[in-house]
A and B are shown apart, each in its own frame.
Chain A
């Protein structure tokens, strides 16, 4: 108990007893104690000048935080559909068998806790899992006994890394078995370029000219929404406020997306250069990289990049001798919440609260982080901005299509020979891409991850662009061996798990959508159920508060549109007037148990 007290005191002190650093405080406590004990809530609240229930509110929100004692090592197996299709379910069984516990349980010796988690950004080397912060990729059933034996013996997850991945994955501060799998580079990001060239050029211009360049280049947000980056910067610059902020969204949580993982590993300087350009353009002195908890293995490496940039005067005071241009960046770790990729949630999380999104009047450009004007951009957007500064707006806009300038870094995964990273010019036809990645017999492609849309061969001649097939990076390929509705159900399960629960349509609607999809999959549905799915999906889409709920019915709605025959083959007109999904035995089961006798009428 006194140990707990000391730990809490120290960590709160480390973060200045600052209520807005509550995320770091509870993460720190968990790192030391393995969990955040409820007894610590009051103490943390007292130190950080908040209320006990506020601490509980934060701890209970994030999937990676726990108020229950857990094992010294926490195994989080990625439960994404891509991993499942690559043998993840067998790996799950093997883990369970080897450890002698189920998911959600801890071994008796208190060493290992076994959990499942949403996509961890390793879909190109699936199945994969995390052991504490260590990534373990390309799992097979055969490897599991050895992995568990080693963990038991060394109690050190890092001991599982016997061979490092390529390039910076082998950096002494990373040492991960992760591979980049960069298959095709493009002219903007994954090609050779001068380090710092963009920033130096930007500093010869006025902030307004920088913004004009980014606008002129036609750069649109790479996270998926496609808002014009230069316009966002202009609004932030013009918004009233003495303090402004530049935030980088590195909370890459969309299942099937892993391009930011590779950019953070191989292009961190370019990203930071873009952030620094943004800071110069809008007049910000503070930047934050919001790094998803799954990518904690890159944290020390990124801290080092920040330090080097400080040493080289690329961050800090009077950057590159530019009197009065001061800018520095800190890393804010996430704690397992997909919704925090939504910019207002991300801001709340940076402010140390639960990641409920906020209403977007006012927009973050007016009142964002600490109610100050804030520009939130994706990792890739910042990389693009730095390159635009170096090479010119005209160069950038000459690549791609009329309304989608530049290239897009795609993360390709699923049923293909060469999963990995492809940087392609916007306007590339999906069919061409499928050929290049070695995908045959493709039945469906999920473009943009679960929140995007599922398209079939009839749409393969469309191009990847904001006009036709928009994507934040995810391209998930499903061969004709796969059950489309299994994918849809898995995606709905994901949204049910990740909804923050703030608004009714998303909190409840997704649960209802998922269970009705399950009914149809079981062959217990009628055509009425398809109409029900459509109506319900439209309500969730139209009435939800943030981007999560507004896109969560897309797996259902896009497959109802593009894969209607799949549904039609499963449903049958109900001629008996009785619900096929109603099972009387199941319905009376609980009552039988309570009464401690079987039903006289309904029994096996």
Chain B
């Protein structure tokens, strides 16, 4: 069916298919490359940079970089671990995150990544930016304090829901997720059953009236570290 090629990740030879990204090939081989903005149902955009690997000496976001025969890839190195940790820290300090009472705690991919990296507190100073909370929608809460600008919601709305509810606005540190309405999310055609309502890796998009249905301690990443499913699912 597809063309099989060979690549090497951290010295381990694995088989990949042409057309796959490095991330997809690694997943299939049971090698976990940490990621945040990437999602299996969405086109990759390479914005968080957590999944950066070194390909033939050059840093590349593995979620967007297609595999090529003979690629030599570094993933689990001291240098990359440090850089990835630094990026995760950056995401914590650029927003206002409060894991201890966030509805997403335990299901949050940012929190889970921090645990996997052994981060107990970010090394950078908190920036404490002033961010909006948009509660205008009857069923959905949009809390920009917890947004990491992964644009999953932007893509999910376009690619999975056939809508265009979200888009990035502004630039630089003031960049934020805007909504396709006059003022707020309530002015858009967002529906609580939209795929975009379920795709947020952090606690920015929260559904109303269903909070804490699963208690802390029994949630996805309370049980095992993020990436475990990939590492266990090794087919090779």
Which residues of A are in contact with B by a Cβ distance under 8 Å?
38, 42, 51-54, 56-57, 60-61, 337, 354, 356, 359, 361, 496-505, 507-509, 511-512, 515, 535-536, 538-539, 542-545
Contact = CB atoms under 8 A, between A and B. Distances in A.
Nearest to A362: B66
Given A500-B175, A539-B83, A57 B91 contact: no
Contact of B46 (A497, A507, A539, A545): A545
B87 A539 contact: yes
A357 to B, nearest CB: 10
A53 B179 contact: yes
Nearest to B59: A542
Interface string B139-150: 000000000110
A509 B90 contact: yes
Contacts of B84: 543
A324 to B, nearest CB: 36
Interface of B: 45-50, 52, 59, 61, 64-66, 79, 82-84, 86-87, 90-91, 93-94, 124-125, 127, 148-149, 164, 166-175, 178-182
B155 to A, nearest CB: 13
A57 B52 contact: no
A508 B168 CA distance: 16
B87 A505 contact: yes
B48 A542 contact: no
A497 B125 CA distance: 20
Contact of A354 (B90, B148, B168): B168
A57 B87 CA distance: 25
B147 to A, nearest CB: 12
A503 B173 contact: no
A501 B59 contact: no
Nearest to A62: B171
29 contacts: A38-B182, A52-B182, A53-B167, A54-B164, A56-B167, A57-B167, A60-B169, A60-B178, A61-B171, A354-B171, A361-B64, A361-B65, A496-B172, A496-B173, A499-B171, A500-B172, A501-B175, A504-B49, A504-B94, A505-B86, A505-B90, A507-B149, A507-B172, A512-B125, A515-B125, A536-B124, A538-B83, A539-B82, A539-B87
Contacts of A501: 149, 168, 170-175
A544 B90 CA distance: 13
B85 to A, nearest CB: 9
Secondary structure class of chain A's binding surface, majority of residues: helix
Contact of A505 (B45, B49, B65): B49
B49 A53 contact: no
Question: Could you say which of A356, A359, A499, A509 has the most chain B C-beta atoms within 10 Å of its C-beta?
Answer: A359
A545 B151 CA distance: 15
A544 B86 CA distance: 12
A539 B86 contact: yes
A354 B170 CA distance: 9
Nearest to B148: A504
Given A504-B90, A535-B86, A545-B47, A51 B64 contact: no
Nearest to B92: A508
Given A496-B172, A501-B173, 9 more contacts: A54-B164, A60-B169, A61-B169, A354-B171, A507-B94, A507-B149, A509-B90, A535-B86, A543-B86
Residue from B47, B59, B171 with most neighbouring chain A CB atoms (10 Å): B171
A503 B49 contact: yes
A501 B79 CA distance: 24
B178 A56 contact: yes
Contact of A359 (B61, B94, B180): B61
B149 to A, nearest CB: 7
Given A503-B46, A504-B87, A536-B86, A543 B52 contact: yes
B173 A57 contact: no
A504 B84 CA distance: 11
